[in-house]
Amino acid sequence: MLSKNKQKFILSLSRKKVREQNEVFVAEGHKLVSDLLSAGCDVDTIIATDSWLNENKTLTNNCHEIIDSSTDELKKVSQLKSPPSVIAVFNQNKKPLNIEHLKTQLSIFLDEIQDPGNLGTIIRLADWFGIKNIICSKNCADVYNAKTIQSTMGAISRVNVHYVDTLAFFQDFQNLKLPIYGTFLDGDNIYEESLTSNGLIVMGNEGKGISTEVERHISSRLLIPPYPDNASTSESLNVSVATAIICAEFRRTKN
């Protein structure tokens, strides 16, 4: 049975401050929770229906607390439209960033991405394209926001997300002597450029694009061209859509 104190605690985790204080996050639904458990994520509490617990006994072996709950009780603490059969509280996994480890990799830097859904989708894309590290400016959306976690579809267990001081990060990254790519309306056609298998892809804010502070560090300005050239079309692409196109092109040219 789900106590009122536990209900209150689960609901309080919708606030970033409380998540940070307790160093935990919430995941909802069978697919997401089972993916995170299968990946070995450190789980603290599982709240689930009796049928879910009976069908998933092997996934709950390392859980600190298991609460057998009714659908009505789950509905009271769920942020989804339809109550799930399981809600879990996981411990945050904050791995320190080692700049040297980025030397042989393709990585992504997010410059003040505001929408949690966009952040979660980009994490999922990074996972798909084999990108292990996403670096975020401090003003980016919270990776442990419930909407972000839901949008990752479990990819959060395989992609490291780091929050950094922007100036300090680029000062250190430039010592690696790697290309830093960014997309601009006056950039060079991405389909005609020689792209590297390592380096940094910078994606800008949904409304403002790449900030002036970050732009000065860009060494290669890219453009995702509309079709046909110079067509009257939408002003811009959604940042997660643009990220998908860019990552696909980087990987395509290296295959």
CATH number for the domain that contains residue 230: 3.40.1280.10
Q: Exposed (0-12), middle (13-18) or buried (19+): which is 1, by Cβ within 10 Å?
A: exposed
Q: How confident is the model at residue 255 (pLDDT cuts 50, 70, 90)?
A: low
The label of the residue with tokens 């997660």 reads 240
Encoding tokens for residue 191? 């389909």
**Residues 186-244: tens digit of each pLDDT:** 999 999 999 999 999 999 999 999 999 999 999 999 999 988 777 677 777 899 999 99
Same domain, 62 and 34: yes
Same domain, 13 and 86: yes
Q: Which among 91, 115, 134 is the end of a domain?
A: 91
CATH number for the domain that contains residue 82: 3.30.1330.30
Encoding tokens for residue 213? 């502070």
Whole-number Å distance between alpha carbons of 78 and 13: 11
Q: Which among 91, 112, 133 is the end of a domain?
A: 91
**Residues 91-130: tens digit of each pLDDT:** 998 889 999 999 999 999 999 999 999 999 999 999 999 9
